[in-house]
Amino acid sequence: MRGDAPILPLRLEDLAFAEGGRTLLEGIRLTLRGGPPTLVLGPNGAGKSLLLRLCAGLLAPTSGAVRWTGPGAAMARPPRHLIVFQRPVMLRRSAAGNIAHALAVAGVDGAERQRRAEAALDRFGLSPLAARPARALSGGEQQRLALARAWALGPQVVFLDEPTASLDPAAARAVEEAVAALAADGIKAVMTTHDLAQARRLAGDVAFLHRGRLLEHGPAHAFFDAPRTAEAAAFLRGELYW
Protein backbone atom coordinates (compact mmCIF):
# COMPACT_ATOMS: atom_id res chain seq x y z
CA MET A 1 0.00 0.00 0.00
CA ARG A 2 0.96 3.61 -0.18
CA GLY A 3 2.14 3.62 3.41
CA ASP A 4 4.94 1.18 2.55
CA ALA A 5 8.52 1.98 1.83
CA PRO A 6 8.71 4.26 -1.20
CA ILE A 7 10.10 3.08 -4.53
CA LEU A 8 10.73 6.58 -5.88
CA PRO A 9 12.92 8.27 -7.00
CA LEU A 10 12.91 6.67 -10.47
CA ARG A 11 16.20 7.15 -12.31
CA LEU A 12 16.56 6.71 -16.05
CA GLU A 13 20.24 6.27 -16.76
CA ASP A 14 21.36 6.80 -20.34
CA LEU A 15 18.22 5.09 -21.53
CA ALA A 16 18.08 4.17 -25.19
CA PHE A 17 15.69 2.14 -27.31
CA ALA A 18 16.10 1.09 -30.90
CA GLU A 19 13.92 -1.10 -33.09
CA GLY A 20 14.36 -2.30 -36.62
CA GLY A 21 17.58 -0.36 -36.93
CA ARG A 22 15.94 2.93 -35.99
CA THR A 23 16.87 4.71 -32.79
CA LEU A 24 13.67 5.80 -31.13
CA LEU A 25 15.04 7.04 -27.79
CA GLU A 26 18.54 8.11 -27.01
CA GLY A 27 20.60 9.27 -24.03
CA ILE A 28 17.66 9.81 -21.67
CA ARG A 29 18.81 10.92 -18.22
CA LEU A 30 15.93 11.70 -15.93
CA THR A 31 15.06 11.52 -12.23
CA LEU A 32 11.41 11.44 -11.21
CA ARG A 33 10.56 12.13 -7.59
CA GLY A 34 7.36 11.99 -5.57
CA GLY A 35 4.94 14.93 -5.49
CA PRO A 36 2.61 16.54 -8.01
CA PRO A 37 2.21 14.99 -11.48
CA THR A 38 5.02 14.95 -14.03
CA LEU A 39 3.79 15.69 -17.53
CA VAL A 40 5.79 14.27 -20.43
CA LEU A 41 5.28 16.57 -23.41
CA GLY A 42 6.45 16.67 -26.98
CA PRO A 43 5.28 16.50 -30.58
CA ASN A 44 4.21 13.32 -32.38
CA GLY A 45 6.88 10.67 -32.64
CA ALA A 46 8.92 12.17 -29.85
CA GLY A 47 8.90 8.87 -28.00
CA LYS A 48 6.59 9.75 -25.11
CA SER A 49 4.57 6.51 -25.10
CA LEU A 50 7.72 4.52 -25.53
CA LEU A 51 9.30 6.21 -22.56
CA LEU A 52 6.28 5.45 -20.41
CA ARG A 53 6.28 1.79 -21.38
CA LEU A 54 9.95 1.51 -20.58
CA CYS A 55 9.40 3.10 -17.20
CA ALA A 56 6.48 0.75 -16.51
CA GLY A 57 8.65 -2.25 -17.35
CA LEU A 58 6.59 -3.42 -20.32
CA LEU A 59 9.59 -3.07 -22.62
CA ALA A 60 13.29 -3.65 -22.05
CA PRO A 61 15.67 -0.83 -23.02
CA THR A 62 18.28 -1.46 -25.71
CA SER A 63 20.85 0.13 -23.44
CA GLY A 64 20.89 2.05 -20.22
CA ALA A 65 18.70 1.34 -17.20
CA VAL A 66 15.38 2.06 -15.52
CA ARG A 67 16.17 2.12 -11.81
CA TRP A 68 13.80 2.44 -8.90
CA THR A 69 16.05 3.73 -6.18
CA GLY A 70 13.74 4.06 -3.20
CA PRO A 71 14.09 1.71 -0.17
CA GLY A 72 10.97 -0.27 -1.15
CA ALA A 73 12.13 -0.99 -4.68
CA ALA A 74 13.09 -4.64 -4.05
CA MET A 75 9.52 -5.81 -3.43
CA ALA A 76 7.79 -7.04 -6.55
CA ARG A 77 4.31 -7.80 -5.19
CA PRO A 78 1.87 -6.19 -5.18
CA PRO A 79 2.76 -3.96 -8.11
CA ARG A 80 4.01 -0.62 -6.83
CA HIS A 81 3.55 1.10 -10.18
CA LEU A 82 0.87 0.71 -12.82
CA ILE A 83 0.15 1.95 -16.31
CA VAL A 84 -3.14 3.16 -17.79
CA PHE A 85 -3.46 3.27 -21.57
CA GLN A 86 -5.26 5.62 -23.91
CA ARG A 87 -7.83 2.95 -24.60
CA PRO A 88 -8.15 0.95 -21.41
CA VAL A 89 -8.53 -2.81 -21.55
CA MET A 90 -11.80 -3.81 -19.96
CA LEU A 91 -12.51 -7.45 -19.17
CA ARG A 92 -15.87 -8.99 -20.00
CA ARG A 93 -17.16 -8.44 -16.50
CA SER A 94 -19.01 -5.78 -14.60
CA ALA A 95 -17.28 -2.58 -13.58
CA ALA A 96 -16.96 -3.84 -10.02
CA GLY A 97 -15.82 -7.20 -11.38
CA ASN A 98 -12.93 -5.60 -13.24
CA ILE A 99 -11.65 -3.97 -10.09
CA ALA A 100 -12.18 -7.13 -8.09
CA HIS A 101 -10.25 -9.15 -10.67
CA ALA A 102 -7.26 -6.82 -10.55
CA LEU A 103 -7.28 -7.07 -6.76
CA ALA A 104 -7.48 -10.87 -6.99
CA VAL A 105 -4.43 -10.98 -9.25
CA ALA A 106 -2.65 -8.81 -6.70
CA GLY A 107 -3.41 -11.42 -4.05
CA VAL A 108 -6.10 -9.62 -2.09
CA ASP A 109 -8.62 -12.04 -0.56
CA GLY A 110 -12.41 -12.14 -0.95
CA ALA A 111 -13.96 -9.82 1.61
CA GLU A 112 -11.21 -7.21 1.35
CA ARG A 113 -11.58 -7.25 -2.44
CA GLN A 114 -15.24 -6.38 -2.20
CA ARG A 115 -14.55 -3.54 0.20
CA ARG A 116 -11.76 -1.99 -1.81
CA ALA A 117 -13.65 -2.31 -5.09
CA GLU A 118 -16.62 -0.47 -3.61
CA ALA A 119 -14.34 2.20 -2.17
CA ALA A 120 -12.65 2.70 -5.54
CA LEU A 121 -15.93 3.00 -7.40
CA ASP A 122 -17.15 5.48 -4.83
CA ARG A 123 -13.96 7.58 -4.93
CA PHE A 124 -14.31 8.09 -8.66
CA GLY A 125 -18.08 8.55 -8.77
CA LEU A 126 -18.76 5.22 -10.45
CA SER A 127 -20.90 3.52 -7.81
CA PRO A 128 -24.12 3.65 -9.87
CA LEU A 129 -22.32 1.76 -12.63
CA ALA A 130 -20.95 -1.01 -10.41
CA ALA A 131 -23.04 -3.83 -11.90
CA ARG A 132 -22.96 -2.65 -15.50
CA PRO A 133 -20.86 -4.59 -18.00
CA ALA A 134 -17.59 -2.66 -18.18
CA ARG A 135 -17.50 -2.88 -21.96
CA ALA A 136 -20.86 -1.20 -22.22
CA LEU A 137 -19.62 1.97 -20.48
CA SER A 138 -18.78 5.12 -22.40
CA GLY A 139 -15.16 5.98 -23.21
CA GLY A 140 -14.93 8.45 -20.37
CA GLU A 141 -16.52 6.08 -17.88
CA GLN A 142 -14.15 3.29 -18.92
CA GLN A 143 -11.16 5.55 -18.45
CA ARG A 144 -12.32 6.62 -15.01
CA LEU A 145 -12.89 2.94 -14.22
CA ALA A 146 -9.33 2.20 -15.32
CA LEU A 147 -8.13 4.87 -12.91
CA ALA A 148 -10.35 3.54 -10.15
CA ARG A 149 -8.95 0.06 -10.83
CA ALA A 150 -5.41 1.39 -10.58
CA TRP A 151 -6.21 3.35 -7.44
CA ALA A 152 -7.72 0.28 -5.77
CA LEU A 153 -4.42 -1.56 -6.05
CA GLY A 154 -2.72 1.10 -3.96
CA PRO A 155 0.26 1.86 -6.19
CA GLN A 156 2.82 4.56 -5.51
CA VAL A 157 3.19 5.55 -9.17
CA VAL A 158 0.70 5.50 -12.04
CA PHE A 159 1.84 6.04 -15.60
CA LEU A 160 -0.88 7.44 -17.87
CA ASP A 161 -0.49 7.34 -21.63
CA GLU A 162 -2.68 10.02 -23.22
CA PRO A 163 -5.64 9.12 -21.00
CA THR A 164 -7.99 11.73 -22.45
CA ALA A 165 -6.91 11.74 -26.09
CA SER A 166 -9.94 9.87 -27.43
CA LEU A 167 -12.54 11.54 -25.23
CA ASP A 168 -14.91 14.44 -25.74
CA PRO A 169 -14.18 17.58 -23.66
CA ALA A 170 -16.67 16.78 -20.92
CA ALA A 171 -15.40 13.26 -20.45
CA ALA A 172 -11.84 14.54 -20.68
CA ARG A 173 -12.44 16.97 -17.83
CA ALA A 174 -13.96 14.19 -15.73
CA VAL A 175 -10.89 12.01 -16.30
CA GLU A 176 -8.61 14.94 -15.58
CA GLU A 177 -10.34 15.40 -12.26
CA ALA A 178 -9.81 11.70 -11.58
CA VAL A 179 -6.08 12.13 -12.21
CA ALA A 180 -6.08 15.07 -9.87
CA ALA A 181 -7.80 12.87 -7.30
CA LEU A 182 -5.00 10.30 -7.66
CA ALA A 183 -2.44 13.00 -7.08
CA ALA A 184 -4.40 14.32 -4.12
CA ASP A 185 -4.19 10.86 -2.56
CA GLY A 186 -0.42 10.95 -2.75
CA ILE A 187 0.03 8.85 -5.89
CA LYS A 188 2.75 10.04 -8.26
CA ALA A 189 1.23 10.47 -11.74
CA VAL A 190 3.48 10.47 -14.78
CA MET A 191 1.37 11.41 -17.76
CA THR A 192 1.67 12.19 -21.45
CA THR A 193 -0.74 14.48 -23.23
CA HIS A 194 -1.25 16.56 -26.35
CA ASP A 195 -3.47 19.01 -24.54
CA LEU A 196 -1.31 21.93 -23.36
CA ALA A 197 -4.11 23.50 -21.35
CA GLN A 198 -4.54 20.21 -19.54
CA ALA A 199 -0.80 20.06 -18.97
CA ARG A 200 -0.80 23.52 -17.47
CA ARG A 201 -3.61 22.53 -15.13
CA LEU A 202 -2.07 19.30 -13.88
CA ALA A 203 1.70 19.59 -14.11
CA GLY A 204 4.01 19.89 -11.15
CA ASP A 205 7.00 19.41 -13.42
CA VAL A 206 7.42 18.89 -17.16
CA ALA A 207 9.73 16.60 -19.18
CA PHE A 208 9.98 17.72 -22.81
CA LEU A 209 10.92 15.14 -25.47
CA HIS A 210 11.76 15.81 -29.10
CA ARG A 211 12.83 13.18 -31.62
CA GLY A 212 13.83 10.69 -28.97
CA ARG A 213 15.88 13.06 -26.86
CA LEU A 214 15.07 14.69 -23.55
CA LEU A 215 15.49 18.40 -24.17
CA GLU A 216 14.12 19.89 -20.96
CA HIS A 217 13.06 18.82 -17.48
CA GLY A 218 11.99 21.23 -14.80
CA PRO A 219 9.19 22.86 -12.78
CA ALA A 220 6.01 23.47 -14.76
CA HIS A 221 5.86 27.22 -14.44
CA ALA A 222 9.49 27.50 -15.56
CA PHE A 223 8.77 25.42 -18.67
CA PHE A 224 5.56 27.15 -19.67
CA ASP A 225 6.69 30.72 -18.95
CA ALA A 226 10.31 30.55 -20.02
CA PRO A 227 11.33 27.46 -22.01
CA ARG A 228 15.08 27.15 -22.37
CA THR A 229 15.23 25.53 -25.80
CA ALA A 230 14.04 26.82 -29.16
CA GLU A 231 12.16 23.58 -29.83
CA ALA A 232 10.21 23.89 -26.58
CA ALA A 233 9.34 27.45 -27.38
CA ALA A 234 8.16 26.46 -30.85
CA PHE A 235 6.18 23.61 -29.35
CA LEU A 236 4.43 25.91 -26.89
CA ARG A 237 3.56 28.27 -29.74
CA GLY A 238 2.03 25.31 -31.55
CA GLU A 239 4.59 25.41 -34.33
CA LEU A 240 6.47 22.15 -33.68
CA TYR A 241 4.74 19.28 -35.39
CA TRP A 242 7.14 16.37 -35.27
Beta strands 205-210 and 63-68 are unpaired
CB contact at 8 A, 72 and 238: no
How near is the Cβ of 49 to other proteins at its closest, in Å?
A: 12
CA distances in angstroms from 125 to 29, 40, 110, 237, listed in the order given: 38, 27, 23, 36
The closest of 216, 174, 217, 219 to 198, measured between CA atoms, is: 174
How near is the Cβ of 159 to other proteins at its closest, in Å?
A: 9
**Beta carbon nearer to other proteins, 94 or 156:** 94
| Rounded distance between C-alpha atoms, residue 161 and residue 29, angstroms | 20
**Beta carbon nearer to other proteins, 150 or 183:** 150
Report the Cα 113 to chain-centroid distance in Å. Answer: 23
CB contact at 8 A, 91 and 101: yes
Query: Which helix (DSSP H) or strand (DSSP E) does residue 179 occupy?
Result: helix 169-184
How near is the Cβ of 106 to other proteins at its closest, in Å?
A: 7
**Beta carbon nearer to other proteins, 2 or 135:** 135
Q: Which residues pair with 94 in a beta bridge?
A: 133
Which residues would be at the binding site for other proteins (CB under 8 A)?
A: 56, 58, 76-79, 82-83, 85, 88-89, 91-94, 97, 101-102, 105-106, 131-136, 153
**Beta carbon nearer to other proteins, 104 or 184:** 104
**Beta carbon nearer to other proteins, 32 or 83:** 83
How near is the Cβ of 242 to other proteins at its closest, in Å?
A: 26
How near is the Cβ of 1 to other proteins at its closest, in Å?
A: 15
